[in-house]
Amino acid sequence: MKITKHEGRLAVPDKVDIPFIEGDGTGPDIWRAARLVFDRAVGKVYGAARSIAWQEVLAGEKGFTTVGEWLPDETLDAIREHVVAIKGPLTTPVGKGIRSVNVAIRQKLDLYACVRPVSYIEPVPSPMKEPAKVNMVIFRENTEDLYAGIEWQAGSGDAEKVSRFLKEEMGVDLPPGAGIGIKPISAANTKRLVAAAITYAIENDLASVTLMHKGNIMKFTEGAFRPWGYEVAAEGFADKVITEADVYAKHDGRPPEGMVVIKDRIADMLFQQVLLRPDEFHVIATPNLNGDYLSDALAAQVGGLGMAPGANIGDACAVFEATHGTAPKYAGQDKVNPSSLILSGAMMFDYMGWKEAAEAIRRSLQATIKEGTVTYDLARQISGAREVKCSAFAERIVDQL
């Protein structure tokens, strides 16, 4: 049976159909491993009361070789219809008229929030002195900013046309022959992203939401992101949030019990602060480009992208995904680390309200890494670790459920 969504609330049947995209390159290896963990965790936690019927949908190389399309409409329709889906990594076709299948999925399904939780799993090697203090969730706007793809190549007729318009109509002189990109940031897209970040903080009992922006320089784009963020906090969540300014002005620097603090930080300074005082940040809401940089920088603080889960979430549906690429040189070797996809599945179960399964997966994955059973990528960094294949890593997680 299908998941449905009414007025923002999910209804999840106990016997649920979930579409999956296996992914290219190492995708089949990590999907096989992840699916085993998902099915066994659900079986262990809920017995026969709950189960998943996985529905394969095509995209990427498998879509192209099977039905001649990198992203078939049927795949998008199936995700819309089923509300929740999960995917492995997809190859970006070079020069095939589609910029990136991943970006196309996000845009076509209007998955406007890229959500990346970042937390530490002991004993994964980390460059931080106290990596356990890194525990944040990034909400990155997914649909606009410089990533909207509105750009013109240096020297092209279109670039010259835009350049001429800017000179003649707006009095702006660009260097001759410049490439040009446009950075749109809108109130509507900012507000729905910040609202999603605040809702997440409230639902998960997190202490703060930080608006990350470079508004001191880009005044009408990132500079507007900040007040729009505060506006949506005041308009939609007045009884549940408090601004950092009010915490100091009215509460002696101590937030009232149960209130989420809304604060803002300039992007470059935030990059320093997440290194120096990571425990002061809980949820970070940010425009697209900043969010891309920050997600990977934070993932590095807890041991790199191989471990980082992610989701792209919109009002109508959500797609959970491994955050790394297809690692094609390891394809078919049953070698790479499936943790990113497994932890993305745990996020998916949280989103569906199957929190016990999510917790069981996270606990068992942590126990497996902690006992030193790891794939090659972690084995080369942890002395004394026992290196196992991708499938054996998943089997060991299942043993510990």
Among 28, 43, 325, 372, binds ligand NAP (CB under 6 A): 325
Instruction: State the DSSP H helix or E strand holding residue 105, giving kind and residue range, or none if neither.
Output: helix 101-108
In the complex, residue closest to ligand NAP by CB: 325
Alpha carbon distance 17, 38 (integer Å): 13
Is 292 an annotated catalytic residue? Answer: yes
Q: Should residue 388 be labelled a site residue for ligand NAP when binding is judged by CB under 6 A?
A: no
Q: Should residue 319 be labelled a site residue for ligand NAP when binding is judged by CB under 6 A?
A: no
Catalytic option among 77, 268, 279, 315 = 268
Q: Should residue 324 be labelled a site residue for ligand NAP when binding is judged by CB under 6 A?
A: yes
Catalytic option among 29, 145, 264, 292 = 292
Nearer to ligand NAP, 243 or 381 (CB): 381
Among 19, 63, 89, 229, binds ligand NAP (CB under 6 A): 89
Q: Should residue 106 be labelled a site residue for ligand NAP when binding is judged by CB under 6 A?
A: no
Nearer to ligand NAP, 89 or 229 (CB): 89
| Residues 361-380 close enough to bind ligand NAP by CB under 6 A | 377
Alpha carbon distance 120, 136 (integer Å): 10
Is 268 an annotated catalytic residue? Answer: yes
Is 296 an annotated catalytic residue? Answer: no
Q: Should residue 327 be labelled a site residue for ligand NAP when binding is judged by CB under 6 A?
A: yes
Alpha carbon distance 261, 206 (integer Å): 9
Length of the chain: 401
Cα-Cα-Cα-Cα torsion 338, 343, 348, 349, nearest 10 degrees, comes to 110
Give the shortest CB-175-to-ligand NAP separation in angstroms: 31
182: three-class secondary structure by DSSP: coil
Q: Should residue 303 be labelled a site residue for ligand NAP when binding is judged by CB under 6 A?
A: no
Region near ligand NAP per CB under 6 A, out of 50-58, 64-72, 89-97, 143-151: 89-97
Give the shortest CB-88-to-ligand NAP separation in angstroms: 7
Peptide bond into 123 cis (omega under 30): yes
Query: What is the three-state SS of 317-373?
Result: CEEEEECCCCCHHHCCCCCCCCHHHHHHHHHHHHHHCCHHHHHHHHHHHHHHHHCCE
Q: Should residue 118 be labelled a site residue for ligand NAP when binding is judged by CB under 6 A?
A: no
Nearer to ligand NAP, 350 or 377 (CB): 377
Q: Should residue 391 be labelled a site residue for ligand NAP when binding is judged by CB under 6 A?
A: no
Give the shortest CB-81-to-ligand NAP separation in angstroms: 22
Q: What DSSP character marks residue 204?
A: T
Query: Residue 390: which residues within 8 A CB-CB, separation 6 or more?
Result: 26, 29, 30, 32, 33, 334, 335, 336, 337, 338, 375
Residue 286 · residue 211 · CB < 8 Å? yes
258 burial via Cβ count (<10 Å: 0-12, 13-18, 19+): exposed
In the shown chain, the binding pattern of residues 28 to 47 toward ligand NAP, with x for contact by CB under 6 A and - for none, equals --x-----------------
Distance of CA 85 to the CA centre of its chain: 14
Among 75, 326, 368, 373, binds ligand NAP (CB under 6 A): 326
Catalytic option among 112, 147, 200, 351 = 147
List active site positions.
147, 214, 268, 292
Kindly list the residues in this chain that would bind ligand NAP in the complex (CB under 6 A): 30, 89-92, 102, 306, 321, 324-328, 336-337, 377
